[in-house]
């Protein structure tokens, strides 16, 4: 009432243990005074009387205890009975004159078990009791209120919102931002973690931090100063989520600009969300006829404005938001028509998100055009497509632009026109048909015919008087192309072999399988003797572990099986492209007893939310 230079004193009353403090006999008497049918009164009396409770501690139940006061918790009838008792209390309160709005007077506001009494002076509400009631001899009596506890307060917290003496919104905004900052710094480790994706961090901000700031935002008359403070908080959180940006031009790391943050966020900012909530609540409150909010807007108290600039009102914010769409239209007239209100203001003025926009225009069969934006060294391409459920999807791709020096042939090849099914594709790789990978540089040997390249090089070396001899047979050719290389034979008389090089055997096959030197006949070790106890991996006991999760690494598997004994080798099957585990692995133990111990312990063991299946890798060990 500052605008009309009038003082209003408000007494807030809240019941302590409202449902548990109702006296049941007094409740029945109130129902009879309200002249309810006798049958209904008897049914209510039968449902609330004779109730007993038990207390369960662990698996033990206590003795039943009879409850003589209070209403039944969770009963659908309890709120109705409590409202009847509250109505009786309100009727017997000696109400003051209250606040005059035109021909009507507002002196009491009631919501559930909360009561607010309005008066013109501090002494108007002194006759109100503590609202702790006693019923004696079927008559209602009040306790006297301790007036010594009544003190003037500049601020008062009510239902999570702060009410100030001069009705200033700065204190409320400061408290909202302070609470949101506490939550933000409590989640700072999560927002800094690289193990969590940026999309998940954005969801956490929208579900955990933003509701703290927007509590009660529907009734805020925001000025530019408060809007700037709220926007600064949101940008601080987004900069923590998206991190710094490396500028190639300056070769330095810098903070993201406001426009860059908004393009990455791809959602309405917090100020647009506040405007949307304010307009939604304004239309809902105005369409309810004879409501308190409508009376306050339509009728003004009698009084004169104080000197100075008028304060910003909530209605001024609603009018300012609506005039940006229709300057000559009154928002009260449009709010009467719900469909027009939603179409004109809630869609054109403030679009909630791209998903809402697509759903509201689902009847359109044409997809929006692809948009390309260049922000610094970043290229952002926004495309729309149809998914499997025949709904529109928005796909945003971001590319980092880099300048590289390539050869003229590569630059010329990039200008070639595409052909086939890719004839109409845009320049650059198509993700549907091309997987960009690392560049592989290839060096080709020059020669007229690919088959004669080796012979040309050999002839060229012979012309320089170089002595070229095979290590296997002593012939004048390369050792890797010798026809005796894969036989494993040791040639002692290389002169006889040289005579037969010109006439090789007809049955000699060049497609024989490769035999490693250690497995060839007559192979020796370093000391010149063959180790009779040498074993390969096939001779070492091996087990097969199945049903591994995709996130399992070789280090995790080593920690799991190393507790059973020495390990000779671990082979984890993984995808060559993604590097993820394919679900199985082989482990070679040096001892068969350790392998048996691992099979007994790990078979059926729960590891990383999956049940492992462990067995011998070959039947030879299984049947041994």
Between CA 84 and CA 40 the distance in angstroms is 14
Mean pLDDT across the stretch 176-197? 90
Between CA 204 and CA 242 the distance in angstroms is 14
pLDDT of residue 610 exceeding 80: yes
Domain of residue 562: give its range.
542-616
Q: What is the pLDDT of residue 238?
A: 93
Q: What is the pLDDT of residue 182?
A: 93
Between CA 256 and CA 236 the distance in angstroms is 10
13 lies in the same domain as 88? yes
Q: What is the pLDDT of residue 185?
A: 92
Q: Are 196 and 203 contacting, i.e. CB atoms less than 8 angstroms apart? A: no
Q: What is the pLDDT of residue 205?
A: 92
Asked whether residue 146 is domain-assigned, the answer is: yes
Domain boundary among 119, 150, 181: 150
For a pLDDT cut of 70, what percent of the chain falls above it?
A: 72
Mean pLDDT across the stretch 575-601? 88
Q: What is the pLDDT of residue 361?
A: 43
Domain boundary among 243, 267, 291: 267
Q: What is the DSSP string of 368-389?
A: PPPEEEEETTEEEEEEEEE-TT
194 lies in the same domain as 85? no
Alpha-carbon radius of gyration of the chain: 42
Q: What is the pLDDT of residue 213?
A: 92
Cβ neighbors of 416 (< 8 A, separation 6 or more) are: none
Higher pLDDT, residue 399 or 305: 399
Q: What is the pLDDT of residue 436?
A: 60
Q: Are 27 and 40 contacting, i.e. CB atoms less than 8 angstroms apart? A: no
40 lies in the same domain as 99? yes
Cα angle at 470 between 468 and 473, to 5 degrees?
140
Q: What is the pLDDT of residue 245?
A: 84
Between CA 156 and CA 624 the distance in angstroms is 82
130 lies in the same domain as 19? yes
pLDDT of residue 183 exceeding 90: yes
10 lies in the same domain as 39? yes
Asked whether residue 483 is domain-assigned, the answer is: no
Q: Are 393 and 384 contacting, i.e. CB atoms less than 8 angstroms apart? A: yes
* Averaged pLDDT score across all residues of the chain: 76
Distances 121 to 39, 116, 117, 124, 549 between C-alpha atoms, Å = 46, 15, 11, 6, 72
Q: Could you tell me the pLDDT band of residue 169, with boundaries at 50, 70 and 90?
A: confident
102 lies in the same domain as 227? no
Least confident range from 43-47, 72-76, 165-169, 553-557: namely: 165-169
Q: What is the pLDDT of residue 124?
A: 60
Tokens representing 338 are 């719900």
Mean pLDDT across the stretch 452-470? 65
Least confident range from 103-107, 215-219, 378-382, 391-395: namely: 103-107
For a pLDDT cut of 90, what percent of the chain falls above it?
A: 10
Reduce the DSSP state of residue 335 to 3 states and report it: helix
Mean pLDDT across the stretch 529-535? 49
Between CA 456 and CA 453 the distance in angstroms is 5
Q: What is the DSSP string of 178-228?
A: HHHHHHHHHTHHHHH-SSS-HHHHHHHIIIIIHHHHTTTGGG----HHHHH
Q: What is the pLDDT of residue 132?
A: 38
Q: Could you tell me the pLDDT band of residue 454, with boundaries at 50, 70 and 90?
A: low
Distances 114 to 1, 89, 91, 187, 498 between C-alpha atoms, Å = 22, 12, 15, 35, 112
How many domains are there within the chain? 5
Q: Are 62 and 54 contacting, i.e. CB atoms less than 8 angstroms apart? A: yes
299-349 pLDDT, tens digit per residue, is: 766 667 667 777 788 888 888 888 877 777 788 888 888 887 877 666 644
Backbone angles phi, psi at 597, to 5 degrees: -65, -40
Q: What is the pLDDT of residue 236?
A: 93
Domain boundary among 267, 292, 315: 267
Between CA 409 and CA 200 the distance in angstroms is 44
Least confident range from 205-209, 255-259, 411-415: namely: 411-415
92 lies in the same domain as 192? no
Asked whether residue 84 is domain-assigned, the answer is: yes
Q: Are 609 and 549 contacting, i.e. CB atoms less than 8 angstroms apart? A: yes
Backbone angles phi, psi at 295, to 5 degrees: -65, -40
pLDDT of residue 533 exceeding 90: no
Tell which residue, 189, 233, 236, 228, has the closest CA to residue 213: 233
> What predicted TM-score, i.e. pTM, was given to this entire model?
0.50
Question: Positive or negative, the Cα torsion across 564, 568, 573, 577?
Answer: positive
Asked whether residue 35 is domain-assigned, the answer is: yes
**570 half-sphere exposure, CB direction, 13 A CA radius:** 17
């Amino acid at each position: 009432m500052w605008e009309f230079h009038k003082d209003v004193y408000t007494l807030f009353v809240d019941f302590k243990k409202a449902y548990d403090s109702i006296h049941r006999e007094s409740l029945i008497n109130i129902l009879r005074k309200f002249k309810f049918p006798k049958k209904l009164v008897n049914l209510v009396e039968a449902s609330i009387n004779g109730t007993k409770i038990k207390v369960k501690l662990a698996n033990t139940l206590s003795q039943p205890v009879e409850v003589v006061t209070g209403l039944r918790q969770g009963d659908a009838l309890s709120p109705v009975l409590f409202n009847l008792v509250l109505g009786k209390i309100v009727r017997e309160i000696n109400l003051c004159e209250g606040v005059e709005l035109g021909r009507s007077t507002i002196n009491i506001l009631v919501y559930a078990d909360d009561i607010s009494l309005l008066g013109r002076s501090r002494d108007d509400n002194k006759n109100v009791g503590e609202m702790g009631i006693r019923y004696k001899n079927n008559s209602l009596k009040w306790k006297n209120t301790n007036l010594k506890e009544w003190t003037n307060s500049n601020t008062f917290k009510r239902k999570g919102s702060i009410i100030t003496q001069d009705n200033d919104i700065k204190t409320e905004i400061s408290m909202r931002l302070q609470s949101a900052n506490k939550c933000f710094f409590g989640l700072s480790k999560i927002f800094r973690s690289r193990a969590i994706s940026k999309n998940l961090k954005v969801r956490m901000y929208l579900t955990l931090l933003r509701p703290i700031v927007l509590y009660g935002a529907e009734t805020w008359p925001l000025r530019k100063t408060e809007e700037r403070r709220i926007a600064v908080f949101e940008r601080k959180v987004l900069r923590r989520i998206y991190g710094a940006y490396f500028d190639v031009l300056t070769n330095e790391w810098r903070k993201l600009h406001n426009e860059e943050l908004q393009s990455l966020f791809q959602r309405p900012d917090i100020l647009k969300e506040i405007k949307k909530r304010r307009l939604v609540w304004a239309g809902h409150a105005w369409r309810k006829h004879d409501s308190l909010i409508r009376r306050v807007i339509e009728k003004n108290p009698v009084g004169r404005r104080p000197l100075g600039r008028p304060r910003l009102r909530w209605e001024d914010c609603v009018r300012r938001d609506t005039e940006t769409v229709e300057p000559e239209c009154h928002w009260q007239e449009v709010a009467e028509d719900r469909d027009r209100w939603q179409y004109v203001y809630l869609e054109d003025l403030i679009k909630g998100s791209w998903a809402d926009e697509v759903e509201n225009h689902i009847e359109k069969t044409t997809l929006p055009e692809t948009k390309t934006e260049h922000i610094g060294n970043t290229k952002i391409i926004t495309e729309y497509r149809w998914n499997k459920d025949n709904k529109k999807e928005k796909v945003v791709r971001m590319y980092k632009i880099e300048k590289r020096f390539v050869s003229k042939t590569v630059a010329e090849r990039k200008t070639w026109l595409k052909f086939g099914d890719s004839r109409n594709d845009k320049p650059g790789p198509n993700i549907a048909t091309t997987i960009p990978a690392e560049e592989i540089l290839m060096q080709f040997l020059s020669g007229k015919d690919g088959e004669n390249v080796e012979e040309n090089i050999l002839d060229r070396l012979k012309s320089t008087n170089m002595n070229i001899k095979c290590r296997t047979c002593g012939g004048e050719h390369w050792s890797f192309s010798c026809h005796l290389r894969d036989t494993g034979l040791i040639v002692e008389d290389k002169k006889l072999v040289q005579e037969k090089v010109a006439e090789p055997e007809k049955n000699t096959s060049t497609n024989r399988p490769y035999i490693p030197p250690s497995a060839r006949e007559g192979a020796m070790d370093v000391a010149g003797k063959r180790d009779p106890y040498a074993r390969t991996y096939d001779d070492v006991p091996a087990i097969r572990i199945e049903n591994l999760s995709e996130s399992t690494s070789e280090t995790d598997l080593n920690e799991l099986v190393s507790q059973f004994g020495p390990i000779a080798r671990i082979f984890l099957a993984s995808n060559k492209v993604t590097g993820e585990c394919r679900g199985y692995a082989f482990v070679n133990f040096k001892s068969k007893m350790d392998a048996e111990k691992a099979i007994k312990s790990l078979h059926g063991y729960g590891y990383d939310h999956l049940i492992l299946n462990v067995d011998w890798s070959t039947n030879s060990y299984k049947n041994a």
